[in-house]
Amino acid sequence: MKKKLLMSVFSPIENDGRVKRSITSLSKIYDIYLFSPSDDLNNKYEKKNEVVYISSIISWGRLPTQISLLIFYIELFFYTILIRPKIMYGHDRYLCLATLIISRLFRLKTIYDAHELILPEKNFYLNFSNLLLYKSEKFSLSKFDILISANKERAKVMKKHFDLKFLPLSIRNITQSTIGTVSKKYIIEKYINFVFKRDQKYIVYSGYFAKERGLKFFTDLLNILPKNISLVLIGSGPAQKFINFLKDSNINLYKRIKIINKVPNSHLQDVLSLFDLGLVYYSNKNINNILCSPNKVYEYAHAGLPIIGTDQKTLIELIDGYKIGKTCKQKEKEKSLYEFSKNILEVLENCKYYKLNLKEFTEKHKFHYEQKKLVDAVLQKFET
């Protein structure tokens, strides 16, 4: 009989690919119970593919974060009593201290996955909420049985900054290919609310809608790029208010922007495959962005899209190193806009060349390798 593992994350599982991949990796050796908020009030308990999905009694976004989080912690405590797991696996900063405290109360083995790396820095001050989360990680990280980071660069910083005895296990955000999960007809009918034009090229950004992720920068690009290039945005976030404002302030620009609401991970690559080029943008204002570990690169690659990205070291190694697109230096805004637009046009013109290189890239960056690292670490730590 397999041991029970209770996994938790304070975000909807429907759109969290990293958590889903950890479930896939460990479900063959443990009975996994996943506890998270949900967008679906009517679906509180579901068993699917031998994994039990449990939703919080409060649907995602219905109450202020502090109240939802308190209720979430109380529920997690009681589910630990009911399920009686042998291992607790917490994802992301909200579950760091809670996972440690509950596991100590019930003498459980622990795994913690640090999705982010948000530290106090000289020119980047943490607000009160982020400061509390940082303090909780500072207190807790050294006490977990297995500690995970999103790449080797972050692992090194974590070891030094938090004075850890061991380097955290590096599990990169490499996605599985889901191309062909659903038909093109289904994708267009369900998600696409605009008509494709033969003479148009479509550049796409998928992810969190925030100005620091380049949303305003991308819309400004349209002022430079030819009018036969449209911008597709997939996701949601605070910058959507800015995009909606364009409808009144710059209607001609707004008409070149196509918005698609959040798409489930299992359908995202099929949606992306309809377009011509993928965009990745991170600022250089803090270590979390400088050492970014985006799953977008792998999602675009599986969807067959060449990529234009910013010049973080981790992106240069992937995009320039494998010639699957181009990265652009972050200079003054006008120069950056010019370089981005120039590289977008060049990559679109030589699309076949970059698409040929995507095959080698996806062959060398497979989810299987990250899966094996996690499984081997868990078996060695808990089962030997």
Task: Report, as an integer, the average pLDDT of 143-168.
Answer: 97
pLDDT recorded at residue 62: 84
Q: Do residues 118 and 133 make contact, with C-beta atoms less than 8 angstroms apart?
A: yes
User: What's the confidence (pLDDT) of residue 43?
Assistant: 64
pTM, to two decimals: 0.91
Single-letter residue type at 260 = I
Residue 333 pLDDT? 74
Confidence (pLDDT) at 29: 95
247 pLDDT band, cuts 50/70/90, is confident
Sheet arrangement for strand 45-48:
45-48, 51-55, 30-36, 3-9, 87-91, 109-113, 146-149, 169-170
pLDDT band at 41 (very low <50, low <70, confident <90, very high): low
Share of the chain above pLDDT 70, in %: 99
pLDDT tier at 49, thresholds 50, 70, 90: confident
Mean pLDDT of 279-288: 91
268/287 Cα distance (integer angstroms): 28
> Please, which pLDDT band fits residue 242 given cuts at 50, 70 and 90?
confident
Task: Provide the β-strand partners of residue 82.
Answer: none
What single DSSP character describes residue 131? Answer: H
Question: Pick the residue with more confidence: 69 or 241?
Answer: 69
DSSP state of 13: G
Burial readout 287-317 (b: 16 or more C-beta within 10 A, e: otherwise): bbbbbbbbbbbbbbbbbbbbbbbbbbebbee
Mean pLDDT computed over 204-217 = 86
Q: Which of 142-156, 207-221, 257-271, 325-339 has the highest mean pLDDT?
A: 142-156
pLDDT at 365: 94
List pLDDT tens digits, range 71-108. 999 999 999 999 999 999 999 999 999 999 999 999 99
